[in-house]
Structure 1
């Protein structure tokens, strides 16, 4: 009973341990520092000292600085100057979307005309002349239907094109609009102002804030309170109902020489404080946990003049020297930089990173943690190239260029006996047995609860690199993929000592090539990713077959280098991009947009993708480690793609004509318009860097262009016609901008206009009419002439036909004659071939005669001898028959009649036998063949040839066959030899 209880307790403890581990990972949310985007004078080409910022409904940002206003549409900076060239100290966008600006003795609105050009329109004419010396406008508010401009000297309220001024007793030092109420601070304290009656209501005395100057009021922690923040860094809780104030906390020490310059509460509830010397200080929603760490240390200047939260959730800091955008809402943050990341592993409340510089470990993490590079420490004994981090037997193992290391709370220890290890894999079906995959083969690794891990021995018989390895279902069978050598299928013996079988696959058995093949397991299938699709292995056919689902999903153009499943998602590295798709969807879509900004920065075939849970994923690159928040919904925001300007040049003119981009009608352009340029932007994107555009000119282009970061498109030499320009956008966070269009028409030249075409039709019609008349008259004349000529031609033709008939008959006779001659020659050649076959038969008969003579002597029986004699007699009679010689001579003369004619003409004394011999020599027959035909001995033929040489007057060295061939080919006989013979 006790044993059962202890067993149950142990199971519960283990289950609780596993639950805690899973719960820790599931609840863990790692975030790095937000990216800080710097904008410098090189970007905006203006004064570097900024004072204020606002944003209109389209997402366009307006910055006030010493040069006036700088308007940023996400791509281009536009400068707007005031009439007196003063600086702009205040900006405000009203509820109607109007941008108000205030400078030194100047106030008005910033507008954009229909051509996309920003300009300033002064409202100074609404103010009485005697009140126009109000100096700098420091703040602008909207309250009670008025726009209120505050300077130290006075308040100016404008509504319905009417201005009211309210001078200060001494100085208005602060003002703010809150819940449609306007609060103003002067030397007496804080008051509320009724703009309809221009009457003040005193709320708080100055001593309630210890004489400190207010910077802003923000919503408090409680529902019925407001937080007042002073320049000296004090936080006061204000109850507007009972008008009480309580000092809550001091942000700056009494002796601090720093000052608070601005403060905002963001939409997430966090409080951001701008300072004179300490950049930006952040507080949580409750106002606690003040952080001045690395989060905002990257600002390019210490003095923050103002803070602003844009509609996308970015925090913009306008500085004494430049502008910074703090991308706090980005789903991407940087955890670790300046190293190439190969693996990441959360282990015992810490994050371990394997890099090209060694292994780094973080300080303890839990819940929602912000990690920065400063929170990581490099383990000294693991410096150098670390490849992977794995947890086995509740121990952390590091596969390193130097070997295998065990990492524990006590330190780092190295396992002796190995070098250059990629990773470690467990062996299925074996307890506490592992394979260490090295640069040159496999090592057996075993574990003992007392002794720990130990390298047992090298598994002999395979020395290839084993970085990419996967065990199959068959016992002891592993797949090993080599980046350059193809795929190996190896089998390890039961004793785990040596390789007993190796199959090597290159570009045979169905694989497209031996390069860039990786093996992985997906949906319980072993799949092989290649440069031309994804394959599975059919053992029965010993062939690699295309995996149709995965290949149709990814295509064959790009390599899928990494593929693994986590929860309901399949993660992948697709060439230079990473992403995921829902595993069980019937028609899944590749989700890559969120990760596009890391494109091209991964370690090929060693991409580091580590999901912590359903929402949080870590991605390692060659530049560092990034955290991604998958709960980010890029499509939640409606970003508008805008055509910010359009222009054209006419013919060769250097002057640029701007086009109306606000019109919805078709813009008509002159015929000689060329160099048409469109500029576009998407200012409402959260990620304003690396915005990409795709465009299509309907009427000229066949399809949308590839995505590009170019924010303009130029068209040259367009022909006359109607066009529609389309442009859409996306950011590298997956945000997508709406499509913008612009319609225009290039008018035809004057000679292509409607009236010109009508004139052409009239002239053409008249020309055709008179032409028809002339042609008809000409036709009548020509017809009469043709009839006369036709009669004459008919007579000539009849004579010609008669002549042609005669010529045809003659030609037919000649052709028949030639055909007959060809038939005679062809048949003669057939007879020659037949005679040659008879010669072969005579040789056979002679051979049979010789054999029968031998047989006659060998046969003892008289009757058999008599039979042999009769056979010999028949064969001899056949041999003595010279009928084939006559047939041969007759046919030879018919085939080579010119030869005998020339031979007899040049050598008339030749006998018939000598003529026969010349014919045989002419046919290149050997002495043996001639002897067989003539039934003579070879010696007799040689003697006859010798005599024939003398009769022909040939020297001993001359070839008789060549001599006779020359005789046959000489047109006029063989005169020179005829003279010799004479």
Structure 2
């Protein structure tokens, strides 16, 4: 299993020269563009300030990552926030030691860091100046084995660094002209020394002898760039031209991996085995991770196969694999597996069987036999599904085809087609004989057929059909497997057995209890120890039984291949005890049961804590600073945070899921998600604990390391602010009391003044009311006087009108009497009448009425007559009366009646009066009298 990382993915240069891992399982890569960091989820690139290529990398103490580059060396160290920042050590060197080329190797020994260049070795002890070890030898590569450091001087041999001096090893001059690629521990007394292209040797401290390899021809043109000793004792070789080579301690090549097998490049500059036993390869173009710890490997187009896997069979040292493209074969004895197509087999292969020493192939074009690695058609009859041997008749075979069941005979001359049985023309894909010699055929969409033949196998004697009416949950997806020499029948739900006595199918509770109620088992295959491999619609796994027969299922390990398996016709083939083949969408997957994968615990680390805002995000904590943080305090302005996390599990890390929980904010753990970050906005002040854990593809849950932090309240809610608030409160309360007292006194004075003002107002109101009362009294008095005047006017007017009426009456009587006198009559009556007339005249001109009228008139009109007489004393009584009547605004006719004169006489009197009053002609006499 290989996982490739292209430069576009990790945002670095194409070439990588060194790979290491720190105590937090974070990976560091020396790359052309700088230092690469991979935490299991995200790649980060840290360029060197000079922009040069990084050639070597070493993780030291205190979180320092030492690097060597072109013309420079130094270390990356976490800054205040925990982000790596570069510090050059070469810049502190004297000028004569500053000029060097590449730093290819970095080692740590006894608290000192050694940087190896061609000219010099630089020793650095943290906190002290860099020391220069001048060797005066042209050095090649250097190596560290256990605690010893070795280096090769070209033309001299292999040296060891002791007490800051180089010492030529005994027999080390053997390598004077042989460039060494790597020096590895071999056993207690030997070193394994691999040269670049001049062989592999063993060195015992005194002598050098060649290391024997099993296939010398394979190593002849190999260029070794670097080698490492793996934890299982094998040696991994990174080559210039052949990719990755895994060799055991006997010199046998047990694995090769190159571009043909899925690597990005055949040139490997560096190798590193991580804590999970994956081997990382620094290629000339990218990075690759080879899952050496995985018991699974792929058999696909990189080995010459083409298509989806459907059938497998091992015969001796040959492995036959059938796909939808045809049949392929490989020799298992060769170190490098490669498959070649079998002639005449092009097309869909359904099944492979080995019966009576012959390899049979069920093919879309019919039944085939494989002879001398060539496919030969047995009989040209449609497609063939499967072959089964007839019990107790070794010379007879039955194969199922698209159109029914067919009989073959086997003899030394070969296979012959005998007949197609009549009476069952169904497509017969799955065939098995039971212990009673009866043939069972499973049809995926109809049900099961139980077939009996006659004694001489000439015809079908009976066929019984079974489906959902016979106990199955449905008619579809009924399969058939032979387990422990008995037939069991996986159905859509559950696994069933046939009860022959009842002629019915019943649920097998023991097997069915191993699977879920809705789990559909598609394929099962048993190995020689009784373990059962299975594929269901939900998982892939292996059922094992302890010595008491108690079953258990191992399915975590197989999660790695579930999505890669063929979902058309699922297929499992047990080759032997330790080798199992699964049909895959692209070729096959091989499972090595002898190779146990250690599902070691791993850790989830909080990678970054970032403050988020609408304007710009800022990094608060990362790296080791974040790992060491115990109780981080954050100002309230930074109460919106984004947590970025990663799990240190590299195998198919895209499938790793995460779960988070912020104590004192979330109600519990979140659901599992593939997202590697979580954001919280506007957190209230308080203390929180953020936890995150991961679940890898094997459902192994990591440890949840807590990150405790406190969001401090805003300034206006801080303790200092509350102290100020208390002081301000005291001041405010005091001020309030002072103001209240002052206001009380002021209010008291105001109330007194207001009371006095109100009393004054009351007095004024009383005066005003008194004045108003007096005015009202005066008004009432005036109204009374006016009423009296009006009354007197009315009386005066009435009197005047009375006078006018009386005079009119008297005048009319007088006129009548005068008329009577004129008309004649006796003397006596005439005298009487004259006497009456004289009496009337006296009544008309009576001054009594006038005097009374004058009194009332003067009283009403402000003593008008007296004022008029005083101003105009020359006025006659007649003129005064005329003036009085004009004052009353009487008409000329009324005035004539009152004065007992004619209207003409009134006009003349008016004229005379005007002259008496000296009025102009323009003046109105009546208006003058009214205004006087």
- Shorter-chain TM-score: what band? 0.5 to 0.7
Alignment of 1:950-969 (within 5 A): none
Match of 1:562 among 516, 523, 527: 523
Q: Which runs of 5+ in 1 are unaligned?
A: 1-34, 760-982
SS of the counterpart of 1:43? helix
Cα deviation digits, residues 484-543 of structure 1 (max 9, x gap): 223444444545455554444444344332222212344565433233333344455555
Task: State the shift of 1:619 in Å.
Answer: 1.6
Match of 2:122 among 141, 156, 159: 156
Contact 2:523–2:572 under 8 Å retained in 1: no
| Cα separation, partners in 2 of 1:392 and 1:113, compared to 1, 3 Å | farther
Task: State the shift of 1:437 in Å.
Answer: 1.4
| Cα separation, partners in 2 of 1:280 and 1:609, compared to 1, 3 Å | closer
| Cα separation, partners in 2 of 1:712 and 1:380, compared to 1, 3 Å | farther
In 2, Cα distance between the equivalents of 1:257 and 1:560? 50
Task: State the shift of 1:144 in Å.
Answer: 3.8
| Cα separation, partners in 2 of 1:619 and 1:273, compared to 1, 3 Å | same
Match of 1:181 among 130, 148, 152: 148
In 1, Cα distance between the equivalents of 2:83 and 2:366? 65
Alignment of 1:530-929 (within 5 A): 530-538=491-499, 543-566=504-527, 567-575=529-537, 577-583=539-545, 588-604=551-567, 606-635=569-598, 637-647=600-610, 649=612, 652=614, 654-656=616-618, 658-659=620-621, 661-662=626-627, 665=630, 677-683=642-648, 685=650, 687-688=651-652, 690-697=654-661, 700=666, 705-706=671-672, 710-713=675-678, 724-731=690-697, 734=698, 736=700, 738-743=702-707
Task: State the shift of 1:192 in Å.
Answer: 4.9
In 2, Cα distance between the equivalents of 1:188 and 1:410? 55
The reply to whether residue 464 of structure 1 matches residue 429 of structure 2 is: no
Cα deviation digits, residues 320-360 of structure 1 (max 9, x gap): 33223344443222234332111111113211122212222
Task: State the shift of 1:273 in Å.
Answer: 4.5
The reply to whether residue 407 of structure 1 matches residue 373 of structure 2 is: no
Aligned length: 708
Cα deviation digits, residues 677-697 of structure 1 (max 9, x gap): 443333354x35544224253
SS of the counterpart of 2:407? strand
Contact 1:459–1:496 under 8 Å retained in 2: no
| Cα separation, partners in 2 of 1:464 and 1:714, compared to 1, 3 Å | farther
Cα deviation digits, residues 914-944 of structure 1 (max 9, x gap): xxxxxxxxxxxxxxxxxxxxxxxxxxxxxxx
In 2, Cα distance between the equivalents of 1:257 and 1:410? 32
In 2, Cα distance between the equivalents of 1:509 and 1:701? 51
SS of the counterpart of 1:554? coil
Alignment of 1:512-527 (within 5 A): 512-522=473-483, 526-527=487-488
The reply to whether residue 73 of structure 1 matches residue 17 of structure 2 is: no
1:946 maps to none
| Cα separation, partners in 2 of 1:206 and 1:238, compared to 1, 3 Å | closer
In 1, Cα distance between the equivalents of 2:234 and 2:496? 51
| Cα separation, partners in 2 of 1:534 and 1:704, compared to 1, 3 Å | farther
Task: State the shift of 1:175 in Å.
Answer: 2.8
Contact 1:692–1:710 under 8 Å retained in 2: no
In 2, Cα distance between the equivalents of 1:172 and 1:577? 56
1:323 maps to 287
In 2, Cα distance between the equivalents of 1:350 and 1:552? 39
Contact 1:486–1:515 under 8 Å retained in 2: yes
Task: State the shift of 1:183 in Å.
Answer: 3.0
The reply to whether residue 226 of structure 1 matches residue 191 of structure 2 is: yes
In 1, Cα distance between the equivalents of 2:684 and 2:346? 65
Task: State the shift of 1:361 in Å.
Answer: 1.9
| Cα separation, partners in 2 of 1:510 and 1:202, compared to 1, 3 Å | closer
SS of the counterpart of 1:550? helix
In 1, Cα distance between the equivalents of 2:567 and 2:676? 31
Q: Which runs of 5+ in 2 are unaligned?
A: 726-932
Contact 2:329–2:340 under 8 Å retained in 1: yes
The reply to whether residue 50 of structure 1 matches residue 16 of structure 2 is: yes
Contact 1:78–1:118 under 8 Å retained in 2: no
In 1, Cα distance between the equivalents of 2:336 and 2:223? 29
Cα deviation digits, residues 646-679 of structure 1 (max 9, x gap): 44535x5552554564257566778898985443
Cα deviation digits, residues 361-399 of structure 1 (max 9, x gap): 222x35xx6453xx3222212221121111222222211
The reply to whether residue 416 of structure 1 matches residue 379 of structure 2 is: yes
2:272 maps to 308
SS of the counterpart of 1:201? strand
2:489 maps to 528
2:899 maps to none
Cα deviation digits, residues 186-227 of structure 1 (max 9, x gap): 46724756664x34434469864353444433335x753434
How high is the TM-score relative to the length of structure 2? Answer: 0.66
The CA RMSD over aligned residues, in Å, is 4.3
1:929 maps to none
Contact 2:307–2:323 under 8 Å retained in 1: yes
User: Which shows bigger deviation, 126-135 or 38-47?
Assistant: 126-135
In 1, Cα distance between the equivalents of 2:287 and 2:587? 26
| Cα separation, partners in 2 of 1:347 and 1:65, compared to 1, 3 Å | same
Task: State the shift of 1:572 in Å.
Answer: 0.8
| Cα separation, partners in 2 of 1:555 and 1:54, compared to 1, 3 Å | same
> Which structure would you say has the larger Rg?
2
1:381 maps to 344
Match of 1:434 among 397, 402, 411: 397
Contact 2:525–2:574 under 8 Å retained in 1: no
2:312 maps to 344
